[in-house]
């Protein structure tokens, strides 16, 4: 089975698609640009979503649900928002079908045309701030700390499973505050939540930073981001947290009376991560044999495969396998005992390698006699004979070890791929050779940023938080610069 | 605060709207027919969703996610499906906006017209069965037991919060089986899951039955349902489970090879419940002072309200309140200690009554001295002095008592409102007087059913499962009938 996967060396992009499809994460659909998230992929998303949801709630947020549709006129209200965004949208113009009078199925009823077109939400700032207007009158109504789990649609011409699809699933937090300081603190807090989630659960090291003006979210005063590095040396933006200032409050006229009864515009943030994270997870950790999933979010942490010799003592193996599975389950480990006897063990091994199950336990008749099992780690492929006695503690500990090892490996790779370039030649060589993040001086102008992007396809991923000041000269223009920024080619 | 609620006697429909809005469950939105589910209402939905999800998983189902959009042509594939359904849909015709060249915001880009229009899913049988075609080849691929939590859109001209909205949230299970028997068993199993959820968690007694041909889901061979009774004597369909036969498999050409290598069409079911359940919950239990929520799904089971006398011993009350809240939380009870001192206790009492919090604990200085608290049940409004010592066990037990009492009360009401009518006069009198379910003979013809509906607005809610055979005469036509069916006016 693993032979069917294109290797990273041969075609990285095809390797990625093979993993997503053959690893049963997702599938193409009949609707251009939209994907089907398959049960295994959705199981992974559920684990990620539930953990993030817990972290949002632990920081005082609650969930709500706002409409899928946005009146077209709303998108015109915040000038920068519509300027930089929201053009490639699904537009609902009619609300009824009818039978084709000439036979042959249904047609759109021309009489059921909407007076004002509705846009399928590409993001929900506008509809939410229009709602907040009715919810916020006084400082007592603040802060409002609301998150929404939802599907959104941004029409894409060139799509990639998980990484860029027309419809995707995400969460979007939208908070309202009495002061700029509070809103900025919230923006940063949620960036930290995202970074903690990526690093502790996805085993994905990230760089926290702030976007340049031209990479900023349309309508934001500042966009903070976490940036991760994929195995092909390209960067991937894994989450963003925006300080929106009073822009949306002004656009939707949302004011509150403060303690001295003075009317003020409300301060806002928004922040989101999406199913794109699954793409990042796949590309950061997997190998040419399939997915490698971190134990903390793997839908199935352990699989137990019995090695039957025909019917000989099959009952004994099954009984022991179920007993061990029960013990692991009782220890809070998600485990599958695969007693399907239509499939050979070798096929099963390849299948679970493909799916990235962190720990595989194999058990044959000799193991049964010895009171031991063979444990294989998916990440390193190491195999060890382990006594059945005390298995739950052993596996529990091993899962932690794997989680940490995956993070360490990704971190070492990432750190080896942050390079400094001081000349344009170095910059180009690094980009085309080693790849990764390049720390270089930039003169601070959007025109230079654009020129670099046109020449090399590299963008400024972020200005890292706590960036040390350093005098230098822009790699392209030679103009003075006060700090380095991080460039990379990116997804 | 409670004075603002219209009473049931004065205007039942306005009472319902008042509860939903003032109980902070939902709000109207800027988009006609779409609502905003507020944090408190969404907290309730999360509790319901999580419990249902657990019950689905316990019966072997997994979650997945399918596209929001359905190509228009798909809706024409299953003749009965499109005939009976799916006309009032949101239709996406364009995929881009552009700046209005005459200024003034954005307009739909006429050049970005889709070749084939996309329908926002009103239900997903078509797109899912089109996908199953690629997933199912052999009997080894069956059964496929998949559920999806999603938003769906059915254009509605007259909407009611939760009960009938253009967009709503739901789950839709779509399963595929090798035999009719297996599919029918699945259909019935999911009906039982819904009934168990309604009765054990929502404290809502339901009647299980099967729909008549004219009330059947478009494309189904049989539609099973659970029917509940509201306090105004109207019925509400709380969930449906459909046996779809091979209709969708034929429409989308989904065949599997059985063990003898013969190609066969796959057998299907689908089943769903939606945020409409929240409407049922509100109408079944609440009173003129606000919501009454069953403890098992209440977002907040207990609230503790300290009764301050100015600043006197405020610290002591706060310390004790937090200690008790901590004890309850440790016992798995969701609790809020409301130490907001901008609001008077009376206002808080009214607020939590409005929100239907099952148990309120009040605690003043004298209580502190006596080592006791005052506990008020939301359902009966009974108040009792209870020692602080052993409070968690007391409250835990009380929550169970309330859950059971709410069910018993709703059951008694429901059972008192199932009447038998043997003549047309009796039938009309019962409908206009007592309301509720009316068990009566019907000649089995859709024309009679339609005539009864036109005359009285009553529909056949279901033919109850295990309905006893009984010879009789149709209440309208006098034609012979073999069993009684349940009529009611319904939401």
What is the rounded average pLDDT of the residues B215-236? 96
Q: Which of A34, A68, A91 sits opposite B167 (nearest CB)?
A: A68
What is the rounded average pLDDT of the residues A249-255? 97
Nearest-by-CA chain A residue for B41: A64
Residues A289 and A354: beta-carbon distance below 8 Å: yes
Give Cα B42 to chain centroid, integer Å: 13
Q: Are residues B42 and A36, on separate chains, in Cβ contact within 8 Å?
A: no
Residue A19 to chain B, least CA–CA distance (Å): 17
If asked whether residues A367 and A273 sit together in one domain, one would say no
Say which CATH number the domain at B183 has. 3.30.930.10
Say which CATH number the domain at A321 has. 3.40.50.800
Q: Is residue B408 part of a domain?
A: no
Q: Are strands A267-274 and A167-177 parallel, antiparallel or unpaired?
A: antiparallel
Q: Are residues B131 and A36, on separate chains, in Cβ contact within 8 Å?
A: yes
Q: Is residue A291 part of a domain?
A: no
Residue A449 to chain B, least CA–CA distance (Å): 26
| Bond preceding residue A169 cis, omega within 30 of 0 | no
Chain A contact for B76 (CB, 8 A cutoff): yes
Which residue is listed with tokens 């922040």? A271
Burial of B263 (0-12, 13-18, 19+ CB in 10 A): exposed
Q: What is the pLDDT of residue B5?
A: 93
Q: Which ranges in A165-266 belong to alpha helices (H)?
A: 180-200, 247-251
Q: Are residues A92 and B91, on separate chains, in Cβ contact within 8 Å?
A: yes
User: Quick one: residue B371, left, alpha or beta (phi over 0 = left, psi -120 to 50 = alpha)?
Assistant: left
pLDDT of B137 above 80: yes
Chain B contact for A151 (CB, 8 A cutoff): yes
The last residue of one of the domains, among A285, A313, A347, is: A285
What is the token pair recorded at A72? 């077209």
Q: Which of A65, A67, A91 sits opposite B31 (nearest CB)?
A: A67
pLDDT of A1 above 50: no
Nearest-by-CA chain A residue for B57: A43
The mean predicted confidence, pLDDT, of chain B is 96
Q: Is residue B471 part of a domain?
A: yes
Chain A contact for B70 (CB, 8 A cutoff): yes
Chain A contact for B153 (CB, 8 A cutoff): yes
Q: Which of A45, A69, A87 sits opposite B96 (nearest CB)?
A: A87
pLDDT of A309 above 90: no
Residue of A92, A129, A159, A253 to mutate for B, most B C-beta atoms under 10 A:
A92
Residue B72 to chain A, least CA–CA distance (Å): 8
Say which CATH number the domain at B467 has. 3.30.110.30
Nearest-by-CA chain A residue for B36: A66
pLDDT of A334 above 90: yes
The last residue of one of the domains, among A363, A397, A431, is: A397
If asked whether residues A314 and A361 sit together in one domain, one would say yes
Angle at A79 between CA A75 and CA A82, to 5 degrees: 45
Q: What is the pLDDT of residue B3?
A: 57
Q: Is residue A295 part of a domain?
A: no
What is the token pair recorded at B134? 């690629």
pLDDT of B123 above 60: yes
Q: For chain A, how many structural domains are there in total?
A: 3
Q: Is residue A119 part of a domain?
A: yes
Q: Is residue A294 part of a domain?
A: no
| % residues pLDDT > 70 (chain A) | 99
Q: Which of A38, A98, A118 sits opposite B31 (nearest CB)?
A: A118
Chain B contact for A104 (CB, 8 A cutoff): yes
Nearest-by-CA chain A residue for B87: A97
Nearest-by-CA chain B residue for A53: B46
Residue B150 to chain A, least CA–CA distance (Å): 9
Q: Are residues A65 and B42, on separate chains, in Cβ contact within 8 Å?
A: yes
Residue A230 to chain B, least CA–CA distance (Å): 26
Q: Which of B76, B90, B109 sits opposite A92 (nearest CB)?
A: B90
Q: How far is CA B272 from CA A448, B40, B45, B124, B224, in A?
A: 55, 23, 15, 11, 11
Residue B305 to chain A, least CA–CA distance (Å): 19
Q: Which of B68, B106, B120 sits opposite A82 (nearest CB)?
A: B106
What is the rounded average pLDDT of the residues A200-219? 96
If asked whether residues B326 and B260 sit together in one domain, one would say no
Chain A contact for B300 (CB, 8 A cutoff): no
Residue of B48, B68, B117, B171 to mutate for A, most A C-beta atoms under 10 A:
B68
Nearest-by-CA chain B residue for A41: B64
Q: Are residues A134 and B88, on separate chains, in Cβ contact within 8 Å?
A: no
Residue B225 to chain A, least CA–CA distance (Å): 27
Chain B contact for A452 (CB, 8 A cutoff): no
Residue B183 to chain A, least CA–CA distance (Å): 20
Q: Distance (Å, rounded) from C-alpha B177 to C-alpha B266?
A: 6
Chain A contact for B69 (CB, 8 A cutoff): yes
Q: Are residues A76 and B105, on separate chains, in Cβ contact within 8 Å?
A: yes
Nearest-by-CA chain B residue for A27: B131
Q: How far is CA A181 from CA A177, A178, A187, A260, B134, in A?
A: 9, 9, 10, 19, 53
Q: Which ranges in B236-377 belong to alpha helices (H)?
A: 247-251, 276-285, 314-330, 345-355, 365-370
Residue B66 to chain A, least CA–CA distance (Å): 5
If asked whether residues A361 and A424 sit together in one domain, one would say no
pLDDT of A170 above 50: yes
Q: Give the sheet arrangement for strand B267-274, strand by strand.
A: B62-63, B144-153, B167-177, B267-274, B235-245, B222-229, B207-210, B459-464, B484-488, B437-441, B418-420
Residues A461 and A227: beta-carbon distance below 8 Å: yes
Q: What is the pLDDT of residue A87?
A: 84
Chain A contact for B64 (CB, 8 A cutoff): yes
What is the rounded average pLDDT of the residues B136-144? 97
Task: Note which residues in 11-50 of chain B have CB less than 8 A from chain A.
Answer: 27, 29-31, 34-39, 41-43, 45-46
Q: Is residue B230 part of a domain?
A: yes
Residue B386 to chain A, least CA–CA distance (Å): 31
Convert the pLDDT of each residue in A125-144 to its tens digit.
999 999 999 999 999 999 99
If asked whether residues A185 and A245 sit together in one domain, one would say yes
Q: What is the pLDDT of residue B1?
A: 44
Neighbouring C-beta atoms of residue B442, cutoff 10 Å: 25
Chain A contact for B345 (CB, 8 A cutoff): no
Q: Are residues B65 and A36, on separate chains, in Cβ contact within 8 Å?
A: yes
Q: What is the pLDDT of residue A2?
A: 46
Nearest-by-CA chain B residue for A155: B95
Residues A86 and A75: beta-carbon distance below 8 Å: yes
Chain A contact for B418 (CB, 8 A cutoff): no
Which residue is listed with tokens 């040396």? A233
The last residue of one of the domains, among B396, B429, B462, is: B396
Torsion of CA A75, A78, A82, A86, to 10 degrees: -50
Q: Residue A105: which pLDDT band, with cuts at 50, 70 and 90?
A: confident
Q: Distance (Å, rounded) from C-alpha B142 to C-alpha B337?
A: 51
Convert the pLDDT of each residue in B38-86 to its tens digit.
999 999 999 999 999 999 999 999 999 999 999 999 988 877 777 766 6
Residue A428 to chain B, least CA–CA distance (Å): 36
Residues B69 and B113: beta-carbon distance below 8 Å: no
If asked whether residues B257 and B320 sit together in one domain, one would say no
Using an 8 Å CB-CB cutoff, list chain B residues near A97. Answer: 72, 75, 86-87, 89, 91, 119
Q: What is the pLDDT of residue A4?
A: 85
pLDDT of B202 above 60: yes
Q: Are residues B88 and A95, on separate chains, in Cβ contact within 8 Å?
A: yes
What is the token pair recorded at A111? 């009489």
Q: Which of A27, A92, A155 sits opposite B131 (nearest CB)?
A: A27
What is the token pair recorded at B377? 């049940």
Using an 8 Å CB-CB cutoff, list chain B residues near A37. Answer: 64-65
Convert the pLDDT of each residue in A436-479 to its tens digit.
999 999 999 999 999 999 999 999 999 999 999 999 999 999 99
If asked whether residues A255 and A315 sit together in one domain, one would say no
Residues B451 and B401: beta-carbon distance below 8 Å: no
Who contacts B171 (Cβ-Cβ below 8 Å, separation ≥6)?
B49, B52, B53, B56, B147, B148, B149, B150, B272, B273, B274
Using an 8 Å CB-CB cutoff, list chain A residues near B73. Answer: 105
What is the rounded average pLDDT of the residues B280-294? 98
If asked whether residues B197 and B235 sit together in one domain, one would say yes
Q: Is residue A178 part of a domain?
A: yes
If asked whether residues B56 and B187 sit together in one domain, one would say yes
Convert the pLDDT of each residue in A42-79 to its tens digit.
999 999 999 999 999 999 999 999 999 999 999 888 77
What is the rounded average pLDDT of the residues B283-308? 97
Neighbouring C-beta atoms of residue A116, cutoff 10 Å: 11
Q: How far is CA A2 from CA A25, A299, B332, in A?
A: 16, 20, 47
Residue B332 to chain A, least CA–CA distance (Å): 16
Q: What is the ipTM of this complex?
A: 0.96
Q: What is the pLDDT of residue A85?
A: 67
If asked whether residues B225 and B138 sit together in one domain, one would say yes
Who contacts A172 (Cβ-Cβ below 8 Å, separation ≥6)?
A123, A124, A147, A148, A150, A152, A270, A271, A272
Convert the pLDDT of each residue in B322-372 to its tens digit.
999 999 999 999 999 999 988 899 999 999 999 999 999 999 999 999 999
Q: Residue B481: which pLDDT band, with cuts at 50, 70 and 90?
A: very high
Q: What domain range includes position A319?
A: 302-397
If asked whether residues B220 and B358 sit together in one domain, one would say no
Angle at A441 between CA A439 and CA A446, to 5 degrees: 110
Q: Distance (Å, rounded) from C-alpha A175 to C-alpha A146?
A: 6
If asked whether residues A125 and A9 sit together in one domain, one would say yes
Which residue is listed with tokens 């602080």? B388
Using an 8 Å CB-CB cutoff, list chain A residues near B169. Answer: 65
Q: Distance (Å, rounded) from C-alpha A337 to C-alpha A353?
A: 15
């Amino acid at each position: 089975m693993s032979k069917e996967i294109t290797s990273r060396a041969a075609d990285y992009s095809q390797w990625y698609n093979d993993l997503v499809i053959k690893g049963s994460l997702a599938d193409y659909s009949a609707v251009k640009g939209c994907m089907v998230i398959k049960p295994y992929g959705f199981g992974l998303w559920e684990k990620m979503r539930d953990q993030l949801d817990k972290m949002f709630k632990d920081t005082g947020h609650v969930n709500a649900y706002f409409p899928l549709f946005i009146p077209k006129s709303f998108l015109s209200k915040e000038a920068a928002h519509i300027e930089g965004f929201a053009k490639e949208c699904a537009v609902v113009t009619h609300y009824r079908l009818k039978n084709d009078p000439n036979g042959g199925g249904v047609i759109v009823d021309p009489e059921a045309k909407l007076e004002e077109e509705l846009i399928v939400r590409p993001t929900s700032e506008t509809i939410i701030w229009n709602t907040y207007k009715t919810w916020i009158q006084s400082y007592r109504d603040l802060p409002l700390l609301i998150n929404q789990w939802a599907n959104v649609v941004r029409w894409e011409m060139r799509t990639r499973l998980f990484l860029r699809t027309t419809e995707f699933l995400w969460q979007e937090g939208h908070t309202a505050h009495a002061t700029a300081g509070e809103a900025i603190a919230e923006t940063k807090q949620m960036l930290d939540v995202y970074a903690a989630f990526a690093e502790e659960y996805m085993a994905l090291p990230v760089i926290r930073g702030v976007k340049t003006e031209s990479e900023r979210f349309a309508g934001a005063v500042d966009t903070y981001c976490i940036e991760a590095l994929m195995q092909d040396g390209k960067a991937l933006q894994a989450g963003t947290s925006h300080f929106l200032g009073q822009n949306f409050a002004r656009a939707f006229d949302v004011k509150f009376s403060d303690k001295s009864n003075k009317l003020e515009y409300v301060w806002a943030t928004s922040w989101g991560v999406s199913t794109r994270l699954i793409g990042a997870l796949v590309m950061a950790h997997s190998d040419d044999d399939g997915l490698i999933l971190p134990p903390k979010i793997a839908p199935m942490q352990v699989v137990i495969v019995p090695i039957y010799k025909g019917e000989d003592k099959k009952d004994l193996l099954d009984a022991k396998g179920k007993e061990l599975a029960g013990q692991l389950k009782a220890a809070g480990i998600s485990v599958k005992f695969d007693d399907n006897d239509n499939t050979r063990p070798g096929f099963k091994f390849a299948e679970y390698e493909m799916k990235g199950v962190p720990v595989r336990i194999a058990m044959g008749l000799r193991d049964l006699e010895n009171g031991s099992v063979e444990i294989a780690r998916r990440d390193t492929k190491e195999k060890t004979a382990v006594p059945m006695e005390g298995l739950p503690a052993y596996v529990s500990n091993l899962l932690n070890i794997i989680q940490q090892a995956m993070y360490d490996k990704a971190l070492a790779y990432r750190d080896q791929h942050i390079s400094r370039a001081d000349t344009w030649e170095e910059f180009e060589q690094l980009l085309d050779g080693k790849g990764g993040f390049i720390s270089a001086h930039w003169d601070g102008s959007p025109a230079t940023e654009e020129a670099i992007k046109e020449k090399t396809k590299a963008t400024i991923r972020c200005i890292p938080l706590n960036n040390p000041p350093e005098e230098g000269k822009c790699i392209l223009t030679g103009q003075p610069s006060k700090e380095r920024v991080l460039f990379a080619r990116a997804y």
